[in-house]
Structure 1
Amino acid sequence: MTQPPQPPNEPPQGGFGAPQTPPAGGFGAPQTPPAGPPQQPGYGYPQAPPQQPGYGYPSGPPAGQGLPPGQPPQQGYGYGYPTAPMQPQYASPQQGGNGGKKFSTQTQIIVAAVVAVALIVGGGIFLVSGGDDKKGDTSQSDSGGTTGGDKGGEDQGIGGGGKEKAPANTKATVGFQLPQPKVTDVTKLDGSWLTDKAYVKTGVYEIVGYDKAKGTRLWSIPLQGQLCAASRHMSKDYKTAIAFEASKPTKEQKYPQCNQIGALDLNTGKLMWSKSVTAATGGDEPIRFDEITLSGTTVAAGGTDGGAAFDLNTGAERWKPKVATDGCYDKGYGGGDALAVVRKCGTYESPQLVIQALNPTTGAPLSSYKMPPGVEYASIVSTKPLVVAADVGDTAGDGSGISDFFSIDASTGKLLTKIAADAEKYAASCRSTEVESCQQLVVGNNRLYLPTEEHEGTGDYGNTNEIVSFDLTTGKPTSDKADAGDRYTMFPIRMDGSNILAYKAPPYDKGGQIVSIDGATFKQTVLMENPSDESVREAETSYSLDYAEILFADGRMYISEVMASKPTTTTLDDKRYLALSFATG
């Protein structure tokens, strides 16, 4: 899709360097949490064994909470926060508070067409794309991959493997805050990763590495144009891939093409290589990309011009788009521990989608599964096991992109089971314009873990929800059930061995929590409780959780935006940060 306009100016003086002093009434001086041995986060931290989550991105559970009488609304989490995604790449539906409905696919496409104007009129509100907190040997989540039955916690095949443990004191303090960059137009800022030394975040025309504890600037990788897509995955030696625009915008070229692919070494802070590619039979014009992923040493990028792949370490082309006689092209790829593609065939009026498991070195299909007729978009939730989400016949009715999940045998292309996901019951979403974009759901233990839609709790006010699961072999719901508790809503952010790590969005008077859910018993263990001070709480809840990137590892949590627009003069802007970190001590 056409990228949003990018600002010609660089970040404010000092960029995202040393911790900034927040505005009056903010957190005060940033805390410096004690250093500790880094552990696997999601969204770009290598873990073993690598597997796919779905977080597919945090996308489901509406973060909005009910408010008691007389309590003023707060930004984010569904109160007083725009619920319409206003940018093509982020056209994934938001879940408004109190179970608000999402937008239809058609509405998403229409909204995408007017995104720039809408965002400017919207007064600089940032919509965030979830980042999936996955892990990886190139995977953002740590799914144990153990086969589970349909007895939930009673299954003896699940258990162990989790690396995240509760500290002696779960009370967290603010680690550091990164200021919002000054931009003059809508700017895409998605992409965040964790290495053993750095928290890495996309900035304006650069990728920046920060000290994990102090937030001080370690290095910067300059880009010739603004980033337009970032891989959720990393290699074991902290390498990843991005797509970015060919240049900065000018009067003559206000919307530069997203046609540059690059590989980043996040350990050294270097751009290892960057290049464009032309179609095998399509002339000399560089092709455009909408998204990018990584599996092993294969960088795969896709879009409406087709797909291409490169060697992560050298940039050598592994395959490039071809004009097929059957009209088929690679729309987009899912990476991580395996590589899969959504291949689009047929005509605009009558599309046929094919899901293929690929040889990551040659691109040769290992198996193929034809999606049901009439499915226009499909999203890859996980590549190993292979799980796909789609809105069959636009029956979801809420624009979530999900009416059903398809569990596919990657070796044969046989459908193992189809899981109906009633949009009235389950909260997760996938952006129809991107193949690897699902949020707030994960795959592990041969199960699909989903948050339910929020509903009234047992208290006098406030909503709540649960995390439940489905067996990927039988398609049946298991007995797994984790309750968020009154006035909290929760969603998975990644797997940790066979355990599920989840974020609990707080009520109006509390801080958020990170919990570990035992894969066998579904018992919850609190790993982190964020401060309930008003200024800190307002900053934490200023992020739209249907889009925010959340990383957690070794007692440190990072939450960040993936979109910025021109600031307004309202006081809301004073409480917004590009990224915010918390740490237990």
Structure 2
Amino acid sequence: MSFGPPPSVYTASAQSADKTRVRRRRRLLGGVAAAVVAGALVIGAVALWPSSGDDQKNAATVKQAPDEVSETHEKPPASLDGELGVQHDEEKLTSDTRYGPGLWATDTLAVRGVRNRLEGYKYTPGYDTTAWSLTLDGHLCATSRDMTADHRTAVVVQPDHSGGSGDDAVCDEVVMVDLDTGKKLWQRTIPGADFAYVTNTNLALTKGVVAIAWGHGSAAYDMANGKKLWGASTAADCQDQGYAGGRALLALVKCGRSGDATYRVQKLDARTGKPRWTYQVSKGVQGVYLPSADPPVLAVEAGDIDVTDLITLDGTDGHRAATISMSGYEPLCGASVSYFGVLDKCPGLVVGRDRLYVMSKESFGEDEPADRIVAFDVEKGIMKGKFEGRPFQNVVPLRADGDNLILYRRSMDTIRPAAVVAWNSGTDKETPYLYFHLPEDEEPPLSDPERSHIVYAHGHVFFAPREMERDDKDAKIPVLSVLGVGSVGPKH
């Protein structure tokens, strides 16, 4: 079975760009490598953060409807010492790269998308327990970053068309899955998806709706029963490239050919697909990403192949609120694997309700922070605080939680562990959640947001490589697929 469109200049250049990005972010630590036993997880780390008292009161839990996109509230666990709770390996890897485009976390499971299947793993300290496994009709083409409050998500699949007249590389099947049980709730063939490939298909969830676009057409489905709600044909002059979901649905519309294309962003009525407002992106912009629908945030490539600016919009009428230069920052929009739906995924950027948080570029000075996370006011675009890493210990923004940012800081040695921390940019208070060490051989790729999914939810942090490759010296050695860490104390 083929995976993606037939080989072309586009796919070859995308793969070359991926390798260049990975090389750019790899760095040698010289003599500061951690002296940690390979494959072991060190617990009982020394606490290096002061307690922040009651700064967790800022994010009260709000009860959500089952079909809303999940927004969980976190609180510090009883113990800050981390223990291994999930460690699953992929076996029988061929010489080809095996891709892992999805990672979701419920209160009891880590769910992983790999190749042509989804699997749920129980959080069980000391054990590798597979709760369920769902084999799909073909390779995963696109995944949502989100799930519903009752733990459902959708994926786009590239089914096997080899027995018919269709293109074997077309991604024309959408599947809704219960992440608690692994049950396939419904699946539909997407009409008119003749040019939907793994390189251009994007998927988003908002309340009650699954929306898919591939630059040559679009389709939206009722989340409950799979009924098609609306869509666009390939004949239109302007086409939806993809969507950002969550509390609202935002569409990126492209008009014209790549050389002189123009873009506009629209807030849609999710049930009908009709625009509520439109923002016209300036001419000359080469690319646009949608890291957030509510508040609306655009990441634009203006005169460069990298993101040059963030543009925040007013959610009521779509007028521009602020422009934030990304000089010196790395939002990493589109910088991970260049397929599986990248339009709304920026692993170096997190958007909260009134703050956005972005990673700075790396610094390699021995006495300088490896990088920092800077908070900006969404409405005004002004800086509202910064959280600095430590020498050779990068910090990565993971998700917003009320007024807090939950972030990850990588380890450096047995004395300085990795950590998950909640940071309030308004008060500059830091609340530690977990201290732990990752296995030494796995720590560099797992700590790099371009090379690994990193998800924190319900007191657990999970790491999953975006790509898995076998060891050429011994192809029989399994390759790590997902690793999870939680508190050794009583569960909250």
SS class of match (1:275): strand
In terms of fraction of residues, the more strand-rich structure is 2
Preserved contact between residue 261 and residue 274 of structure 1 (Cα < 8 Å): yes
The answer as to 2:121 corresponding to 1:210 is yes
Report if aligned partners of 1:5, 1:187 keep a CA contact under 8 Å in 2. no
- Whether the 8 Å contact between 1:66 and 1:463 is mirrored in structure 2 is no
Q: Give the Cα separation in 2 of the matches to 1:330 and 1:269.
A: 31
Q: TM-score, normalised by structure 2?
A: 0.79
Structure-2 change in CA distance of 1:164 and 1:330 (3 Å): same
1:200 is matched with which residue? 111
Contact between 1:482 and 1:523, CA under 8 Å: does it hold in 2? no
Deviation at 1:69, TM superposition (A): 4.5
* Residue-by-residue CA offset, 1:275-300 (whole Å, 9 max, x unaligned): 22223xx9xx5855612110011101
1:437 aligns with 2:345: yes
Distance in 1 of aligned mates of 2:456 and 2:419: 11
Cα-to-partner distance string for 1:130-169 (whole Å, 9 max, x where unaligned) = xxxxxx9754666xxxxxxxxxxxxxxxxxxx5221533x
Q: Name the residue aligned to 1:379.
A: 289
Give the superposition deviation at 1:405: 0.5
Structure 1 counterpart of 2:249: 339
Give the structure 2 partner of residue 322 of structure 1: 233
Equivalent position of 2:56 in the other structure = none
2:408 to 497, 503, 515: 503
User: Does the Cα contact within 8 Å between 1:188 and 1:226 map onto a contact in 2?
Assistant: no
- Find the counterpart in structure 1 of residue 61 from structure 2: none
Structure-2 residue corresponding to 1:67: 29
Q: Which residue of 2 aligns with 1:370?
A: 280
The answer to whether the aligner puts 1:540 opposite 2:453 as a matched pair is no
Alpha-carbon offset, residue 347 of structure 1: 2.9
Cα distance between partner residues in 2 of 1:367 and 1:190: 32
Aligned to 1:493, the other structure's residue is in SS state strand
Distance 1:405 1:344 in 2: 18
AA matched with 2:406: L
Identify which range, 569-578 or 484-493, moves more after superposition: 569-578
Kept after mapping to 1: 8 A contact 2:331/2:349: yes
State the alpha-carbon separation in 2 of the partners of residues 531 and 306 from structure 1: 46
Aligned length: 431
- Taking a change above 3 Å as real, the CA distance of residues 458 and 256 of structure 1, as seen in their structure-2 partners, is closer
Q: How does 1:141-156 map to 2 (within 5 A)?
A: none
Root-mean-square deviation over aligned CA pairs: 3.2
Partner of 1:581: 484
Q: Which has the higher contact order (CA 8 A, sep 6+)?
A: 1
Change beyond 3 A, Cα 1:181–1:302? farther
What are the equivalent positions in structure 2 for 1:75-86 lying under 5 Å apart?
none
Deviation at 1:501, TM superposition (A): 0.6
Q: Does residue 569 of the first structure (1) align with residue 475 of the second (2)? A: no
Percentage of pairs with the same residue: 25
- Structure 2 distance, partners of 1:529, 1:5, is 43
Change (3 A) 1:463 1:137: farther
Q: Distance in 2 between matches of 1:463 and 1:386?
A: 31
Residue 471 of structure 1, aligned match among 371, 377, 381:
377
Q: CA deviation at 1:513?
A: 1.5
What CA distance in whole angstroms lies between the structure 2 residues aligned with 1:180 and 1:553? 23
CA deviation string 1:40-82 (max 9, x = no partner): xxxxxxxxxxxxxxxxxxx99x8656624496999xxxxxxxx
Judge conservation of contact 2:264–2:279 (CA < 8 Å) in 1: yes
SS of the counterpart of 1:391?
A: strand
In structure 2, what residue type is equivalent to 1:584?
S
Residues 56-135 of structure 1 mapped to structure 2, 5 A cutoff: 67-69=29-31
SS of 2:146 mapped into structure 1:
coil
Deviations 1:90-115 (A, max 9, x none): xxxxxxxxxxxxxxxxxxxxxxxxxx
**Which residue does 2:319 correspond to in 1?**
414
2:83 counterpart of 1:173 = yes
Are positions 1:516 and 2:422 aligned together? yes
| C-alpha contact (below 8 Å) 2:67/2:223 kept by paired residues | no
The change in CA–CA distance for 1:417 and 1:71 in structure 2 (over 3 A counts) is closer
Secondary structure of the equivalent of 1:529?
strand
CA distance in 2, matches of 1:554, 1:277: 34
CA contact (8 A) 1:140 1:232 kept: no
Instruction: Show the 5 A alignment for 1:487-498.
Output: 487-498=392-403
Alpha-carbon contact 2:216-2:233 (below 8 Å) kept: no
What does 1:236-315 correspond to in 2, within 5 Å? 236-247=149-160, 256-279=169-192, 285=194, 288=197, 290-315=201-226
Q: Which residue of 2 aligns with 1:447?
A: 355
